[in-house]
Amino acid sequence: MQQGTLSGAAWIASADAAVRETFLSELEQIPGALLALPYLFEFWAHAHQLPPEGDWRNWVVLGGRGAGKTRAGAEWVRSQVEGARPMDEGRCKRIALVGETIEQVREVMIFGDSGIMACSPPDRQPEWLAMRKMLRWPNGALAVVCSAHDPESLRGPQFDGAWVDELAKWRRAQEAWDMLQFTLRLGDDPKVCVTTTPRNVGVLKTLLASSSTVVTRAPTEANEAYLASSFLEEVRARFAGSRLARQELDGDLLDEVDGALWPLDVLEAARCEALPEFDRVVVAVDPPAGSSKRSDACGIVVAGVVTDGPPQDWRAVVLEDASVQGVSPLIWARRAITAMERWGAQALVAEVNQGGDMVETVLRQVDPMVPVVRVHASKSKGARAEPVAALYEQGRVSHHGVFDRLEDEMSQMTRAGFQGTGSPDRVDALVWALTDLVISRAAEWRRPRVRTLVR
């Protein structure tokens, strides 16, 4: 490899002993150089962690999990504030730190292992002002904590730039991003660094298409030297070939499958925050045929429904994806019943195609009184899923959170069947839950009944 494709640290490490000795001996001749070297990010950084040259407003760092995105954002903030002098009007530089919640900004972007505090040298360490939710550097520069969970909180403040973390995961991403743009009105050239794992959401796609945006990309393996080898081996073996691996490990922005029953824009429109008082909550289980690591997952999905008025007014909410893989029947049974207890579910809906009476027997070993609704698949997966997908199109189903693996399967389900690898066990559980809560009960509601007159 040529030196230009490696970081300075990687190039020195791969050079012969004579080169390394020369490099270290020359550093020793410069006062303080060895002490400063750990904090000279340009020496250690991968190419995707350094801002591109040229004229840009938004720099998006797209990468897999563990690819070094947080470190890139923290170091970019350092480059913006350290050594900055008060401006002509006497004020100091102000940077917004925007995460989905205040807690995530504090615990990841500021105090995380790759956060601002960990990256800052002792003589330029900022002070954390907890009551004001901001960092203050010795030169007076400020970094203010902002929450995307509450876009209205971005009304009022103004900044010279911003570091935005995990934009594609925010529940109110478009609202928060739009409000942030109005705050970037200080200085001559406000810039934004966005560090995120990609998801096919509108706000990110629009940002990437902008002429003022530059992008750097990297898979998880780009940062392999700083990750546990067992982590990479496990996740690659477990998710190999899946769309989830391409998104979460390779950092690819995925397009949706042609003819998907659940288009990505439908899924993104289905987010909800506040929960209503449910009339019925169920846990649906799609049990696997085996219990080895290579077996299909046990789909476990929790959902609730509000049934005020006629069936066309009923509204359902998916509450949790508690699915597991590679565990014994007793373990997935305990997980399902624990989910029932956690959400106060009235019933456990279980598909009995795989195992028949065994499924109910295992569940009753954990809780002999568990109310089990047995369901049997007589139609194809696509045919069963289509009526449930129609509920989403009508805006009658919401997701309380982002369920990456469940939604990954949903985005690959078509009328012809599942277009991904393996079995869509999470989708199967979702379909059973919503069929029980909405479709089957709506059919009963509409079914006419004959009155018997007693003389």
Strand partners, 414: 260, 417
pLDDT tens, residue by residue, 223-255: 777 777 788 777 777 666 566 677 777 777 776
The 8-class DSSP code of residue 188 comes to S
pLDDT tens, residue by residue, 79-123: 999 876 766 556 789 999 999 999 999 999 999 999 999 999 988
Distance, CA of 197 to CA of 105 (rounded, Å) = 16
126: buried, middle or exposed (CB in 10 Å: 19+, 13-18, 0-12)?
A: buried
CA nearest 433: which of 310, 305, 329?
305
Strand partners, 94: 142
CA distances from 86 to 72, 96, 117 (A): 25, 17, 22
Our separate counts of H helices and E strands in the chain read: 18, 16
Distance, CA of 433 to CA of 427 (rounded, Å) = 10
The Cβ-side half-sphere exposure at 440, using a 13 Å CA radius, reads 11
CA 300 to chain centroid, in Å, comes to 19
The residue length of the chain stands at 455
Q: CB atoms < 10 A from the CB of 416, how many? A: 10
Distance, CA of 298 to CA of 258 (rounded, Å) = 27
Distance, CA of 439 to CA of 46 (rounded, Å) = 52
Listed in sequence order, the DSSP H helices in 240-312 are 243-248, 264-268
pLDDT of the residue at 434: 97
Structure tokens at 21: 């000795």
Q: CB atoms < 10 A from the CB of 448, how many? A: 4
Element (H, E) at 218: strand 213-218
Distance, CA of 343 to CA of 320 (rounded, Å) = 9
Task: Scan for tokens 């995530």, then name that residue.
Answer: 104
Q: Is the pTM for the entire model greater than 0.85?
A: no
Q: CB atoms < 10 A from the CB of 146, how many? A: 26
Strand partners, 318: 303, 399
Residues 304, 349: contact at Cβ < 8 Å?
no
What order do you get walking across the sheet with 299-306 strand by strand? 372-375, 347-351, 280-286, 299-306, 315-321, 397-399
DSSP 113-142: TTSHHHHS-GGGPPEEEGGGTEEE-TTS-E
Task: Scan for tokens 């969970």, then name that residue.
Answer: 149
DSSP 384-416: HHHHHHHHHHTT-EEESS--HHHHHHHTTEETT
Residues lower than pLDDT 70 in the chain: 1-6, 9, 84, 86-90, 238-244, 255, 290-295, 354-356, 446-455
What domains can be seen in the chain, in order of their start residue?
45-245 (3.40.50.300), 264-445 (3.30.420.280)
SS3 275: coil
Strand partners, 218: 63
